[in-house]
Structure formats: C-alpha cells, structure tokens
A and B are shown apart, each in its own frame.
Chain A
Amino acid sequence: MQQTNKLRPFFENLNFERDDNHMVINFGPQHPSAHGQLRLILELDGEQIVKAVPDIGYLHRGMEKMAENMIYNEFLPTTDRMDYIAATSNNYAFALAVERLLGIEDKVPRRAKVIRMMLLELNRIISHLFWLATHALDVGAMSVFLYCFREREFAMDLMEDYCGARLTHSAVRIGGVPLDLPEGWLGQLAKFVNELPGNIKDYEDLLTENRIWRMRLEGVGVIDQEMAKSWGCTGIMLRGSGIEYDIRKEEPYELYDEVEFDIPVTDSCDSYGRYKLYMEEMRQSVRIIQQLINMYDETEPQLMAHVPQYISAPKEDIMTQNYALMQHFVLVTQGMRPPVGEVYVPTESPKGELGFYINSQGDPYPYRLKVRAPSFWHCGILQDLLPGTYIADVVTIIGNTNIVFGEIDR
C-alpha cells in the first residue's frame, strides 16, 4: 500500500523485475490501439503471453448511480455516452426497456418505429465502418481507415440532418421519436445506402485477399463455441463462433419481424471470420434500410405514443387543453411513475446484446438500473483469449473484439 503522504508511482505491488525469464509489461492505459482506456498487464515469456490481466475502470462515471438520481427522461441523453460510436442504439435500448416496463411497447406509432429502425441500422453501419477503420489501422492498413471514415462521415451527416448531433444523438424518446424526417432526407438516405455496397466492395478488395491482412487475422483470437457461450459473448463474437443467434431475429422488437434480412454466421471462430461477418452485416443493414424507405410512406404521421399518464401529449394539445397541460407539467417536473416491477430487455446493438435491467418501485426514479453492455463481457474474455498468443496479436485481438470503454466502465 502506498504511503498516503508521498507522491510516488503506485504499481499495486506488481513485480516488474522477476527472477525467471518472464517479463511483465503494462499495455495502456494510454495506448493508441487499446481503443480507450484499457490497461492490460501482460506477463511475457519472450514474445508469448503467459498471463493477461485486463484492468478497467478508467472511464467509470457511475452511470448506474446517476440513473438512480434522475427521472427516466433525464437519463436518456446520458446513455449516449456509453457506446458513443453508435449512440442511438443505447438510447433505443433504454427507451425500449422503459416502454416495456410501462407496458406501452405496442402503442408506439408505426412511423416512429420505422424511423427508429432506420436510425438503428444507420448506426450499425456507422459503428461497423468505425470498427473496420480502426481495426485496419491497428493492423497496419492506413488507407482503409481513410476510406471508411469518408463513408462514415456521410452517414453521420445524415444523423446530423435528422437530430442535429453527430455523435451524441439522443434521437429516440421513450414512446417514440421527437421529430419526423426532414425534407429530402429519405432521398439522401437512399442515395447513401445505394452507394454503400460498392464502397464495401472496395474495402473488401483492399483487405479480403490481402496477404498481410490474412496473415494477421486468420487463426488469431480463436473463440470456440463453449468459450463463447461461457463468456456470454453476443453479437458477432457469438455468430463468429458458429452460433446463429441474433436478437433481431430470435426475439424481434420493433418491425424486425416484417423486414427481410439474413444473419451471417461463420464457424471459423477466428478474427478473419468475424471480419467477414462485419462486412456482410453492413450489407444486411443496407437491405433493411431499403425496405424501410418503402415502408415509411404508408405510415400515419403520429410520432409519439398516446399514453398521457406517462408521456406528454402533443404540443398542440398541451397548448389548447388544460388537462393535457397539467399532465405535461407533472411529467416534466416530477417525471413518470412506472408500475412496481422489473424488466430485463435485450436489444441487438452493433456490438452485441445491449440489455437494460430496470427495477422500479413506483417512484419517478429507477430503483436500480443495470446496463448489460456487450463490451464488458467481450473485454473480460481477453484474460482467457490472450494467453498463448504473441504480443503482436494483442492489438489484432483487442481491435477485433470491438470493445468501447464508454460502455465497459459506464
């Protein structure tokens, strides 16, 4: 233990100088390839890793504690800061959890559902592009990074046109969406998704048969089925191990049971297989968005669920009707009071299963809110995945697991 009145580096009694030939190194917390603030304590035998201890918590902001001190609507913008690469998926997961807690899930208007799904899939594309860009950069393919960020920029422009923010969207509300699509947005979205498959093909031309890319990824970070299940891997980490499970298909929410899309699966279990899944998932997202664009026109213009007990009435009602104004006032100043009970609601975020457990005791503040963030479990697996591999593969494996520290530490 450190002397409390001395300014001295504090290494938790780590034995850096050892008698055997092993060496202990700190990978991070400030490392460009750690994708955030990950400190990995690696014990090396030559270049081979004998033991890996991930150390997290450098980005801990106590979001679950904050949630207990905020009304439900207040907390929604905070969820942006979890997986900040795809903020809408967090907003949506939280909104859906509260909707299921309130029992108003089926009252969300159809147009809101279509818009939410468009945003979710757009976020999936943004997140996957970001993943590919940074992962390729880590492995050494600089040009892919530049191309991916170009496309991501167009997708973020679309997000900006819709909600005004590029990174922290807060574009979903409990009970619907706040705004309809702006003029001409659908045309731009259609243009973007129609061009994207060509761009994905460009990335694949650069990478898929690239000798260096294959050497760095094939057979690296092998997660077999047992390990994936035992570690609670979800999303592409699970489907990369040959288990076909996508929450959008198996436990459909929104309109995912009405659109056609495929779930790519591979049983190669390695980083290269997962890379191929990411590319295929982007194509499937494009497919979903193309179907949604056609569905949008057939919907009624209502955007928020009509449940005046929990959700404010439309602005027009508030300004013209006394009781709607009173209810709105109570909802804004005190917040909605969901029934007593608890829910666990999983959604398929770009990184895996993002679930919210909410325990409500009938107060305007959640009694307990637990975020099941996929990256948390995908980061824990590093301590089993890294031993036996070489130090050069650490960067590949961390990049390939697609972890974001905003949601690991929360």
Chain B
Amino acid sequence: MMRPYQPKENVQKKAYYTDRFWVAPRIPEEPVPEESPYADDLAAVKKVCKVLNAYIQRGQLVIYVSHEDNVAALKALKEARGYEMLSELSAVDFLAQRGGFEVFYQLLNLSGARRLRVKCFVKENQAVESVEPLFRSADWAEREMWDLMGVKVNNHPYLKRLIMPDDWEGHPLRKDYPLEGDEFAQWYEVDKIFGKEARDIIGPENRDPGRVDRYDTERFARLGHEVPRGAPAEMADKEEETPLSYQEEEGVFLIEKFSEENSKVLDKRK
C-alpha cells in the first residue's frame, strides 16, 4: 500500500476532516471611513509611498505597502502621525502559497490610543530594510524574526540569532520545519557533545533525555511497582506490596503510622 502524499512545504498539524463544500467565513475588511483619524494616517502614508491595500479589521487599521517602503511608511507614521511605539514586529510564513513572508509592524499612538498594522510581503530571497533607526525595539524583534522565520533584514546593527543557539541550522517557525525538529535538531546535543560518530552508540531512543514517549505514562501509573519492559504479563499484573516499615514497628526513624486523632487538620489559614 502506498502512503498518501503529504506536501512537504507545510508539515504543521491539519484538520483531519473538512467538509468539501465548507467555505471559511472571513472577518469583514471595512473601508477606512472618511474624516477619521485613521483616514489621516492613511493619507500620511499615501504621501510618502504607494499603498497597496488598506482596510479596517476588528477596529484596527491595516495598511499594505511594498516591502521597499516599510521604513518610509513607518517614518511618516511616527513623525507626522504620532505613532511613537512599535509594539510588535514579526512575520507570517506564506512560503507554500506565495513563496514569501508577510511582515507586519504593529504600531501604537499613545496620545490617541490608536493601533494600526503596516504589512508588507517579502519574497524568500528578498530582504526588508531594518526599522531599528526609527524604533530601538526593532533591534531584538528583527533578530527574533531572522532567527525563527529566516526573514533577512538589511542594515541591522547586529543580526545574530537571538533565541536559538548561534550554530543552529534552519528556522524553526517556518511551516516546513516539523514540530519535533528536523534531523539536525534531534541530534543537536549528541553531535555537539559526543560527535556525530556517537549517534549509532546512543541511538534515537536515548538521544533526548527530556523526551516523553507513550510508555512513560504506563510506567508512571505503576510507580513503585516497576517491572522490566517486555516482562511476561503475569509478572506485570502482580503488584508487589510496597515495603513500608514504620517507626513503631522498629522500622524507619520518623516514618510514623497515621492516626487521625493525633493529626491536626488545617481547615483555615491565619
């Protein structure tokens, strides 16, 4: 029997059943109302660069610009419209669908309590310009974006991996990166500490001491009554008495038998 084909560019978990005729509803993308602060924001961006699309979604303005115009748009919003804080910056992986990433900049206007999102699309082999000269906070956010998504940033002061180790390979938040890690990730500690030749000696079942497999729950439930793996069933079913010896029976010092009269019930604190 052949295994069904699974596309390799998106290995994230997917719904196992979707109605063929089901069309996902969309959150409405409302037009920007005239004579509103958002309309002025949009006009300020339109003055400096081309706006590809603009709408209001769930109360926040979203502006699409070209990836070359991200700094110009953010600069106009910061200097002319008071969007002084960059509260978030990251990317969304659309490599499988469109061959690139959607980078978004979430801005906040402190005096007007308004938020808007500037978005741009970057192809995989393209780079965005760093907005770090405008917002110092972009320093770490762009490093994180490069580290986890692999979006290149031009003219960043120190573009180095932030969260993953420096010698890591691959970008873990991409859709084609499996949740359990690729081969490099799975053997990372073994390769680094013992060398690649130790892979065979250690074996896949011992390479990650933090790994929880399905047998752990079996063993956990039988804590104190462990039997060797693969032991015959009669041995596994027979539960041995846990050896307990109390202080009263000349057993272990300080291990006393429980008596309800002598115990104190703490039903209230203070």
The 10 lowest CB-CB distance pairs between A and B, nearest first, are: A362-B24, A341-B27, A5-B195, A232-B137, A57-B163, A380-B140, A250-B113, A230-B136, A339-B25, A69-B13
Q: Which B-chain residue is minimally distant from A249 (CB atoms)?
A: B113
Instruction: Decide if A57 touches B167 in the complex (CB within 8 Å).
Output: no
Size bracket of the B interface: 35 or more
Given the interface pairs A56-B162, A154-B270, the reply to whether A66 lies near B167 with Cβ below 8 Å is no
- Report which of B14, B26, B172, B192 forms a contact with A2, defined as CB distance below 8 A: B192
Interface stretch of the complex, out of B42-50, B88-96, B254-262: B88-96
Given the interface pairs A69-B13, A365-B13, A377-B140, the reply to whether A5 lies near B167 with Cβ below 8 Å is no
Instruction: Tell me how far the C-beta of A26 lies from the nearest C-beta in chain B, rounded to whole angstroms.
Output: 15
Given the interface pairs A339-B24, A370-B88, A372-B88, the reply to whether A4 lies near B191 with Cβ below 8 Å is yes
Q: Which A-chain residue is minimally distant from B93 (CB atoms)?
A: A368
Instruction: Decide if B92 touches A368 in the complex (CB within 8 Å).
Output: yes
Instruction: Decide if B24 touches A344 in the complex (CB within 8 Å).
Output: no
Instruction: Tell me how far the C-beta of B77 lies from the nearest C-beta in chain A, rounded to whole angstroms.
Output: 14
Can you spell out 27 A-B residue pairs with CB atoms less than 8 angstroms apart? A2-B167, A10-B192, A56-B162, A56-B163, A57-B165, A62-B179, A64-B148, A64-B173, A68-B13, A103-B58, A153-B269, A157-B269, A229-B110, A230-B137, A243-B110, A339-B26, A340-B24, A341-B57, A343-B58, A343-B60, A355-B106, A357-B106, A368-B92, A372-B87, A377-B140, A380-B139, A380-B140
Instruction: Decide if B26 touches A342 in the complex (CB within 8 Å).
Output: no
Instruction: Decide if B269 touches A65 in the complex (CB within 8 Å).
Output: no
Instruction: Report how far A57 CA is from B160 CA in the complex, Å.
Output: 13
Instruction: Report how far A68 CA is from B113 CA in the complex, Å.
Output: 30
- Report which of B26, B85, B165, B197 forms a contact with A5, defined as CB distance below 8 A: B197
Number of A-B residue pairs, CB cutoff 8 Å, is 141
Instruction: Report how far A363 CA is from B162 CA in the complex, Å.
Output: 30
Residues of chain B touching chain A, judged by Cβ–Cβ distance below 8 Å, are: 12-17, 24-27, 29, 57-58, 60, 84-88, 90, 92-93, 104, 106, 110, 113, 115, 117, 135-137, 139-140, 144, 148, 162-167, 172-173, 175, 177, 179, 191-197, 269-270
Instruction: Decide if A342 touches B162 in the complex (CB within 8 Å).
Output: no
* A100 part of interface (Cβ distance < 8 Å): yes
- Report which of B17, B26, B167, B194 forms a contact with A7, defined as CB distance below 8 A: B194
Instruction: Report how far A360 CA is from B37 CA in the complex, Å.
Output: 27
Instruction: Report how far A409 CA is from B104 CA in the complex, Å.
Output: 20
Q: Which B-chain residue is minimally distant from A384 (CB atoms)?
A: B136
Mark each residue of chain A from 304 to 336: 1 if its CB lies under 8 Å from any CB of chain B, else 0: 000000000000000000000000000000110
Mark each residue of chain A from 41 to 84: 1 if its CB lies under 8 Å from any CB of chain B, else 0: 00000000000000011001010111011100000000000000
- Report which of A6, A357, A409 forms a contact with B88, defined as CB distance below 8 A: A357
Mark each residue of chain A from 67 to 107: 1 if its CB lies under 8 Å from any CB of chain B, else 0: 01110000000000000000000000000000011010000
Instruction: Decide if B179 touches A65 in the complex (CB within 8 Å).
Output: yes
Best-buried of A1, A154, A229 by chain B (most CB within 10 Å): A229
Instruction: Report how far A157 CA is from B268 CA in the complex, Å.
Output: 10
Best-buried of A4, A243, A409 by chain B (most CB within 10 Å): A4
* A270 part of interface (Cβ distance < 8 Å): no
Instruction: Tell me how far the C-beta of B103 lies from the nearest C-beta in chain A, rounded to whole angstroms.
Output: 12
- Contacts of B191 on A, CB cut-off 8 Å? 4
Size bracket of the A interface: 35 or more
For chain A, residues 239 to 293, give those with C-beta under 8 angstroms from any C-beta of chain B.
243, 245, 250-251
Instruction: Tell me how far the C-beta of A204 lies from the nearest C-beta in chain B, rounded to whole angstroms.
Output: 22
* A348 part of interface (Cβ distance < 8 Å): no
Q: Which B-chain residue is minimally distant from A100 (CB atoms)?
A: B58
Instruction: Tell me how far the C-beta of B100 lies from the nearest C-beta in chain A, rounded to whole angstroms.
Output: 14
- Contacts of B84 on A, CB cut-off 8 Å? 229-230
* A337 part of interface (Cβ distance < 8 Å): yes
Instruction: Decide if B26 touches A341 in the complex (CB within 8 Å).
Output: yes
Instruction: Report how far A346 CA is from B87 CA in the complex, Å.
Output: 10
Instruction: Decide if B90 touches A340 in the complex (CB within 8 Å).
Output: no
Q: Which B-chain residue is minimally distant from A357 (CB atoms)?
A: B88
* A353 part of interface (Cβ distance < 8 Å): yes
- Contacts of B148 on A, CB cut-off 8 Å? 64
Instruction: Decide if A380 touches B269 in the complex (CB within 8 Å).
Output: no
- Report which of A4, A157, A343 forms a contact with B57, defined as CB distance below 8 A: A343
Instruction: Decide if A6 touches B195 in the complex (CB within 8 Å).
Output: yes
Mark each residue of chain A from 206 to 250: 1 if its CB lies under 8 Å from any CB of chain B, else 0: 000000000000000000000101111010000000010100001
Instruction: Tell me how far the C-beta of B95 lies from the nearest C-beta in chain A, rounded to whole angstroms.
Output: 12
